[in-house]
């Protein structure tokens, strides 16, 4: 409610000072709590009516609860969330690539084992030469798969269970990272709304805080 907003702002009013070296925008951001609480009730009410009091309360509640009433802290928070979304997205791309590679390795290893069994069975064949001629395709595929696996960094054929565990672990991490990204994007969306609300408040004619020419040049 508006009253709750005023109470929160009042609690922070005496804690916040605006150093003269800050930009005009930063000084406005810091001083707005004092200004709204004591300087212009009518201006606040007009702005709240135009911009939805619920959104006004949401803006100040979020800033206060997250200790972001300092302009630089808020900007850093926005940057951190943006960076986290980007990092999560990059990790998802990386996991997708790793999953694709592991599934190729899994397929190649399964085929390699079948070919290898055919080659091993040659030892017990009555006519090894005829056997090799009959299974020439398997011999060629064996050599081709061996080279492809080496190109993928596989020098020793892992067990089926080991490969499957790798895939399942990657899929689990992928799902967790997607959920993390979704939560971060929700926060990012909230921050964008907060930033728009606060910008609207700062730019509202009724809410302007007089800034001297000297301060404008800082």
DSSP letters for the chain: -HHHHHHHHHHHHTT----TTS-HHHHHHHHHHHIIIII-HHHHHHHHHHH-HHHHHHHHHHHHHTT--SHHHHHHHHHHHHHHHHHHHHHHHHHHHHHHHHHHHHHHHHHHHHHHHHHHHGGG-SSHHHHHHHTHHHHHHHHHHHHHHHHTT-SSPPPHHHHHHHHHHHHHHHHHHHHHHHHHHHHHHHHHHHHHHHHHHHH-GGGPPP--HHHHT-
Give the rounded distance of the alpha carbon of 87 from its chain centre: 5
Confidence of residue 95 (pLDDT cuts 50, 70, 90): very high
Kindly report, residue by residue over 132-154, the tens digit of the pLDDT.
Answer: 999 999 999 999 999 999 999 99
> In terms of pLDDT, which residue wins out, 6 or 180?
180
Q: Which domain holds residue 147?
A: 91-188
Same domain for 99 and 25:
no
Same domain for 145 and 109:
yes
Residues 156, 84: Cα–Cα separation, whole Å = 37
Same domain for 42 and 111:
no
Kindly report, residue by residue over 55-94, the tens digit of the pLDDT.
Answer: 666 676 777 777 776 777 888 889 999 999 999 999 999 9
Same domain for 193 and 179:
no
> In terms of pLDDT, which residue wins out, 174 or 56?
174
Mean pLDDT, to the nearest integer, of 111-129?
94
Provide the domain count of the chain: 2
Same domain for 29 and 14:
yes
Same domain for 76 and 153:
no
Same domain for 203 and 170:
no
Mean pLDDT, to the nearest integer, of 116-131?
93
Same domain for 128 and 151:
yes
pLDDT over 70 (residue 45): no
As a whole number, the mean pLDDT across the chain is: 78
Say if residues 206 and 40 touch (Cβ distance below 8 Å). Answer: yes
Same domain for 153 and 141:
yes
Give pLDDT, residue 14.
46
Give pLDDT, residue 186.
93
Give the rounded distance of the alpha carbon of 17 from its chain centre: 33
Same domain for 70 and 150:
no
Same domain for 180 and 96:
yes
Confidence of residue 211 (pLDDT cuts 50, 70, 90): very low
Residues 188, 77: Cα–Cα separation, whole Å = 10
Same domain for 37 and 27:
yes
> In terms of pLDDT, which residue wins out, 57 or 105?
105
91-95, 120-124, 177-181 — which is least confidently predicted? 120-124
- Which distant-in-sequence residues (6+ apart) come within 8 Å of 20 by Cβ? 215, 218
Residues 64, 11: Cα–Cα separation, whole Å = 10
Confidence of residue 195 (pLDDT cuts 50, 70, 90): confident
């Amino acid at each position: 409610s508006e009253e709750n907003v005023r109470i929160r702002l009042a609690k922070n009013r005496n804690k916040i000072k605006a150093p003269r070296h800050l930009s005009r925008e930063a000084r406005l951001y810091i001083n707005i709590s004092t200004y709204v609480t004591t300087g212009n009730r009518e201006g606040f009410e007009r702005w709240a009516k135009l911009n939805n009091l619920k959104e006004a309360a949401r803006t100040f509640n979020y800033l206060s609860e997250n200790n972001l009433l300092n302009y630089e802290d808020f900007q850093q928070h926005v940057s951190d969330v943006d960076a986290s979304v980007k990092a999560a997205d990059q990790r998802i791309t990386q996991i997708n690539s790793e999953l694709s590679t592991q599934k190729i390795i899994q397929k190649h290893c399964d085929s390699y084992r079948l070919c290898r069994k055919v080659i091993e069975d040659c030892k017990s064949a009555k006519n090894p030469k005829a056997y090799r001629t009959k299974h020439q395709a398997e011999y060629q595929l064996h050599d081709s798969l061996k080279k492809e696996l080496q190109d993928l960094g596989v020098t020793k054929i892992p067990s089926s269970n080991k490969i499957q565990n790798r895939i399942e672990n990657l899929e689990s991490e992928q799902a967790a990272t997607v959920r993390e990204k979704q939560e971060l994007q929700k926060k990012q969306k909230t921050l964008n709304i907060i930033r728009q609300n606060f910008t609207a408040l700062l730019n509202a004619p009724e809410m302007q805080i007089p800034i001297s020419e000297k301060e404008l040049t800082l």
